[in-house]
Amino acid sequence: MLKKRKTEVYALGQHICMSADKARRVIDQIRGRSYEETLMILELMPYRTCYPIFKLVYSAAANASYNMGSNEPDLIISKAEVNEGTTAKKLKPRARGRSYPIKRPTCHITIVVKDISLDE
């Protein structure tokens, strides 16, 4: 009986304080690209979302090298998804005794990297 080797490793970031739509704008750019190309794209993009996604991609690659012994040039981003998290709600006092709701959306980001050298 042949034992099938696992080729995918993931990193999960939960309760990241930003809108899921803003995170999806960046995630759509990196899906399916190589690890090194992804890091370059994330460093040069001007969005606030890029830093937590950069950390997650880096963490997923570290997981792959530690758990499977993969090399970074062999990794590609096979799956990247953003789900909406909980929304923190606060009330801000306004003029004449009124209150104004403030909503702080959060999101959960999952980055899955795949080692293409193990596919053969």
Tell me the per-residue pLDDT of 83-98, one tens digit each, with 9 for 90 and over: 999 999 999 999 999 9
> Which DSSP string do the residues of 44-102 spell out, in sequence order?
H---TTHHHHHHHHHHHHHHHHHHT---GGGEEEEEEEEEEEEEEEEEEE-GGG-EEEE
Write the CB contacts of 98 (distance below 8 Å, at least 6 apart in sequence): none
Mean pLDDT, the chain, rounded, equals 91
With bands split at pLDDT 50, 70 and 90, how would you rate the model's confidence at 1? low
Q: What ranges do the domains of the chain cover?
A: 10-118
Radius of gyration of the chain (CA): 18
What span, in angstroms and rounded, lies between the C-alpha atoms of 33 and 79? 10
- Using a pLDDT cut of 90, give the percent of the chain over it: 80
pLDDT top residue among 95 and 116:
95
pLDDT tens per residue, range 16-56: 999 999 999 999 999 999 999 999 999 999 999 999 999 99
Q: Which pTM value belongs to this model?
A: 0.86
Question: What top-level class would CATH report for the domain 10-118?
Answer: alpha beta
